[in-house]
């Protein structure tokens, strides 16, 4: 379609219509490329420069490595050593959460950080396993394979889950579908984290009390029942040790909050617990007093696991479910964490690149005996505080982990389980963000409900149900908005002559005989009947409150950025109903997309272009003029 010459009436552009391809392109760009990623590549004039820029865009290491210096490396070395010291106990503990051999947790801190260092866009992200996703995967996969009865099958299914997560995340990034991650709201994540923390803490009572039998379910009631029914197994030796570790860890956390410079104390506290606990257990022969230990650990780097990926029909749907849910969840969390640190430090961060990086690290992870990794909050915060400068910290972490695996692994076999439990409890206590929940309650009751549904759903039903319930409520909120986008009545402010919501500005006064309604956006099938009823109700209440007959209804369309054909039919219907009541309808400032459709559907022809105004003031003056001329005797004094 060629662009015709602009035709204006009352200043309204009644002609500009974009061609179909233009509209499609613009819609496509807004939906999938809102950050316009290729602009900087396309701006280069030389082809060779473009190629370099393109490679640098897709593989960020080529962007920062050429400018990397020894001074930066020194900072990264310190930070890398710190996060590696955290990675060992976290790797072992979270692997236990996922019912996996402890070595898998250590393997997961070797390959994925290396992959992230190449593809990741954030400078602060520290890659590692995460508690919530570990538990989530375990709770889903263990429905089809028992981790104790069929450990090999279970392990292979976990690798397959990781593979699916990787492919899924990389595809999301490649096809720029970050739009999916957008539907995990901050409220959902807060609630989900809190709920997960509660059940994780309760589960750790097994380790802290030194119990041997426990509930395999992950909801509060089942876990409490499990503790209660096995209470004869509680060992005081382990319990005392657990409480000591916990008090120590919590003390270092508070120290960090009070004196941020001493962050390293809390950072090395977990590895201290592991080392001290291991030495202590060895010295007092703790295993004879009921203190359970990690047990035998092999030396050696990650074995290849690509041959273990199983796409058996019997398990495929479960594995897919676990992979997709944990994939979206770990992305939503990881991206949010990365973004918040990059905002604080004013460093680059690109959601779509992160998705590709996360995807590739899980993909390669699934080939090398790793399970799901992401950017855990605690590790990333430590990394940031330790003064990391680039993704090189992840390389340092990986190298240390490789040395550990190659030479030191057997030393960790003496680690008491109670130390790991204390580490998890201490980490989880920081994730119950009750101040955020209170904040949500104060600011937005619906967000509070979304948050609490995730929290309670996770705590009392199951992790996946809680998560989906909360996301579902978020979508429901959106649909409710679509069904009832708020309209408001405008009045004139005394001094400025501006028209504003009469409910918001009590000094705004209405104009006798003229009703001004600002319509909410969008007008779609889902609210076209509502809009009609709302307008009629405004007319009724206007007439019964002021006693004036409404003779003009002005619909301010400034806010309406989108309309569909059902809604256009509805507007026509409204206009007909108003006409029968002797009321004129005027439309003010329709926006581009709306105007295009009103023209294409012949709405403008049917209603008449004289009903359109660019400016509300003009519309009001026209209405007042028409009132005066139609009833000179009645209205002269009121206008």
Query: Site residues for its own copies, window 6-65 (CB under 8 A)?
Result: 6, 11, 13, 16, 20, 24, 30-31, 34-36, 39, 43
- Compare residues 33 and 311 and give the one whose CB is closer to its own copies: 33
Segment 467-486, which members bind its own copies (CB under 8 A)?
A: 474-475, 477-486
Q: Least CB distance from residue 169 to its own copies, whole Å?
A: 17
- Compare residues 188 and 385 and give the one whose CB is closer to its own copies: 188
- Which string of x and - marks every residue 349-378 that binds its own copies (by CB under 8 A)? --x---------------------------
- Which string of x and - marks every residue 179-218 that binds its own copies (by CB under 8 A)? x--xxxxxxx------------------------------
| Binds its own copies (CB under 8 A): choice among 58, 73, 264, 530 | 530
- Compare residues 35 and 225 and give the one whose CB is closer to its own copies: 35
523, 481 in Cβ contact below 8 A? no
> How many angstroms separate the CA atoms of 562 and 597, rounded?
9
Segment 268-297, which members bind its own copies (CB under 8 A)?
A: none
Q: Least CB distance from residue 593 to its own copies, whole Å?
A: 7
Q: Least CB distance from residue 304 to its own copies, whole Å?
A: 38
- Compare residues 10 and 413 and give the one whose CB is closer to its own copies: 10
Contact window for its own copies (CB under 8 A) among 215-223, 321-329, 424-432, 586-594 = 586-594
Token output for 263:
């962050």
Q: Least CB distance from residue 345 to its own copies, whole Å?
A: 10
- Compare residues 156 and 534 and give the one whose CB is closer to its own copies: 534
Q: Residue 445, exposed/middle/buried by CB under 10 A (0-12, 13-18, 19+)?
A: exposed
| Binds its own copies (CB under 8 A): choice among 213, 576, 606, 631 | 576
| Binds its own copies (CB under 8 A): choice among 248, 564, 628, 635 | 564
Q: Least CB distance from residue 139 to its own copies, whole Å?
A: 25
Checking phi first, is residue 17 left (phi over 0); if not, alpha (psi -120 to 50) or beta? beta
| Binds its own copies (CB under 8 A): choice among 4, 21, 149, 580 | 580
> Tokens 């279970």 correspond to what residue?
154
Token output for 622:
């026209």
> How many angstroms separate the CA atoms of 139 and 588, rounded?
56
347, 123 in Cβ contact below 8 A? yes
For strands 488-492 and 514-518, give the pairing. Answer: antiparallel
Give the number of C-alpha atoms closer than 13 A to the C-alpha of residue 115, restricted to the C-beta side.
Answer: 29
Q: Least CB distance from residue 122 to its own copies, whole Å?
A: 15
Residue 262 binding its own copies, by CB under 8 A: no
> Tokens 């593989």 correspond to what residue?
59
- Compare residues 130 and 560 and give the one whose CB is closer to its own copies: 560
Nearest to residue 85, comparing CAs of 365, 477, 428, 400? 400
Q: Least CB distance from residue 533 to its own copies, whole Å?
A: 4
Q: Residue 122, exposed/middle/buried by CB under 10 A (0-12, 13-18, 19+)?
A: buried
Residue 546 binding its own copies, by CB under 8 A: no
- Compare residues 408 and 614 and give the one whose CB is closer to its own copies: 614
Segment 165-184, which members bind its own copies (CB under 8 A)?
A: 178-179, 182-184
Which distant-in-sequence residues (6+ apart) come within 8 Å of 603 by Cβ?
Answer: 568, 571, 572, 597
365, 100 in Cβ contact below 8 A? no
| Binds its own copies (CB under 8 A): choice among 152, 435, 496, 629 | 496
Beta-bridge mates of residue 12: 9
DSSP code, position 526:
G
Give the number of C-alpha atoms closer than 13 A to the C-alpha of residue 323, restricted to the C-beta side.
Answer: 25
Contact window for its own copies (CB under 8 A) among 132-140, 397-405, 439-447, 631-639 = 439-447
> How many angstroms separate the CA atoms of 178 and 327, rounded?
12
- Compare residues 39 and 47 and give the one whose CB is closer to its own copies: 39
Residue 438 binding its own copies, by CB under 8 A: no
365, 166 in Cβ contact below 8 A? yes
| Binds its own copies (CB under 8 A): choice among 229, 561, 630, 638 | 561
Q: Measured over all CA atoms, what is the biggest interatomic distance in the chain, rounded to whole angstroms? A: 106
Task: Report how many residues bind its own copies under the rule CB under 8 A.
Answer: 98
Phi, psi torsion values for 488, nearest 5 degrees: -150, 160
Q: Least CB distance from residue 392 to its own copies, whole Å?
A: 24
Q: Least CB distance from residue 488 to its own copies, whole Å?
A: 7
Q: Residue 232, exposed/middle/buried by CB under 10 A (0-12, 13-18, 19+)?
A: exposed
| Binds its own copies (CB under 8 A): choice among 72, 171, 493, 549 | 493
Query: DSSP string of 595-618?
Result: HHHHHHTTHHHHH-GGGEES-HHH
| Binds its own copies (CB under 8 A): choice among 213, 231, 314, 540 | 540
Residue 489 binding its own copies, by CB under 8 A: no
> How many angstroms separate the CA atoms of 476 and 75, rounded?
47
Nearest to residue 381, comparing CAs of 48, 86, 26? 86
- Compare residues 376 and 485 and give the one whose CB is closer to its own copies: 485
């Amino acid at each position: 379609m060629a662009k015709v010459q602009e035709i204006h009436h009352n200043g309204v552009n009644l002609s500009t219509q974009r061609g179909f391809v233009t509209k499609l392109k613009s819609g496509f760009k807004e939906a999938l490329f809102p950050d316009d990623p290729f602009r900087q590549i396309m701006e280069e004039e030389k082809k060779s420069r473009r190629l370099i820029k393109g490679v640098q865009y897709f593989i960020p290491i080529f962007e920062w490595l050429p400018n990397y210096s020894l001074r930066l490396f020194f900072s990264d070395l310190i930070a890398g050593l710190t996060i590696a010291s955290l990675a060992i106990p976290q790797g072992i503990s979270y692997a236990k959460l996922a019912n996996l051999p402890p070595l898998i947790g250590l393997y997961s801190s070797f390959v994925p950080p290396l992959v992230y260092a190449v593809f990741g866009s954030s400078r602060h992200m520290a890659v590692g396993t995460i508690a919530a996703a570990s538990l989530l995967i375990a709770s889903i996969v263990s429905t089809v394979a028992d981790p104790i009865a069929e450990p090999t099958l279970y392990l292979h299914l976990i690798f397959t889950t990781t593979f699916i997560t990787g492919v899924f995340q990389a595809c999301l990034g490649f096809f720029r579908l970050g739009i999916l991650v957008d539907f995990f709201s901050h409220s959902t994540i807060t609630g989900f984290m809190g709920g997960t923390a509660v059940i994780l803490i309760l589960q750790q009572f097994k380790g802290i009390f030194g119990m041997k039998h426990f509930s395999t379910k992950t909801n509060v009631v089942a876990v409490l029942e499990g503790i209660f029914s096995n209470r004869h197994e509680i060992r005081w030796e382990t319990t005392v040790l657990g409480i000591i570790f916990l008090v120590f860890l919590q003390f270092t956390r508070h120290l960090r909050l009070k004196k941020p410079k001493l962050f390293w104390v809390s950072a090395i506290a977990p590895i201290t617990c592991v080392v001290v606990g291991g030495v202590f257990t060895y010295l007092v022969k703790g295993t004879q007093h009921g203190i359970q230990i990690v047990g035998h650990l092999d030396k050696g780097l990650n074995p290849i696991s690509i041959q273990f990926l199983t796409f058996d029909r019997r398990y495929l749907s479960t594995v897919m479910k676990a992979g997709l849910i944990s994939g979206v969840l770990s992305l939503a969390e990881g991206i949010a964490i990365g973004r918040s640190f990059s905002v604080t430090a004013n460093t680059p961060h690109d959601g779509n690149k992160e998705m590709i990086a996360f995807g590739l690290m899980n993909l390669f992870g699934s080939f090398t005996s790793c399970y799901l990794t992401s950017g855990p909050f605690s590790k990333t915060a430590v990394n940031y505080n330790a003064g990391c400068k680039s993704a090189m910290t992840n390389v340092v972490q990986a190298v240390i982990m490789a040395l550990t695996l190659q030479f030191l692994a057997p030393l960790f076999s003496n680690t008491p389980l109670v130390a790991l439990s204390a580490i998890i409890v201490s980490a989880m206590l920081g994730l119950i963000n009750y101040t955020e929940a209170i904040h949500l309650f104060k600011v937005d009751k619906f967000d509070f409900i979304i948050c609490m549904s995730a929290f309670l759903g996770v705590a009392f039903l199951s992790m996946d149900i809680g998560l989906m319930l909360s996301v579902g409520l978020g979508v429901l909120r959106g649909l409710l908005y679509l069904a009832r986008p708020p309209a408001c009545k405008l009045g004139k402010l005394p001094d400025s002559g501006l028209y504003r919501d009469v409910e918001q500005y009590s000094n705004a006064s209405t104009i006798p005989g003229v009703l001004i309604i600002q319509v909410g956006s969008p007008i779609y099938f889902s609210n076209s009947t509502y809009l009609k009823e709302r307008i009629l109700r405004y007319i009724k209440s206007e007439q019964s409150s002021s006693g004036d007959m409404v003779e003009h209804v002005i619909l301010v369309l400034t806010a309406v950025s989108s309309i569909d054909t059902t809604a256009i039919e509805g507007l026509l219907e409204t206009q007909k109903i108003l006409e029968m009541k002797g009321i004129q309808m005027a439309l003010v400032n329709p926006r581009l997309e709306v105007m295009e459709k009103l023209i294409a559907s012949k709405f403008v022809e049917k209603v008449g272009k004289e009903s359109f105004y660019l400016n509300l003031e003009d519309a009001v003056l026209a209405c007042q003029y028409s009132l005066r001329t139609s009833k000179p005797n009645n209205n002269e004094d009121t206008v």
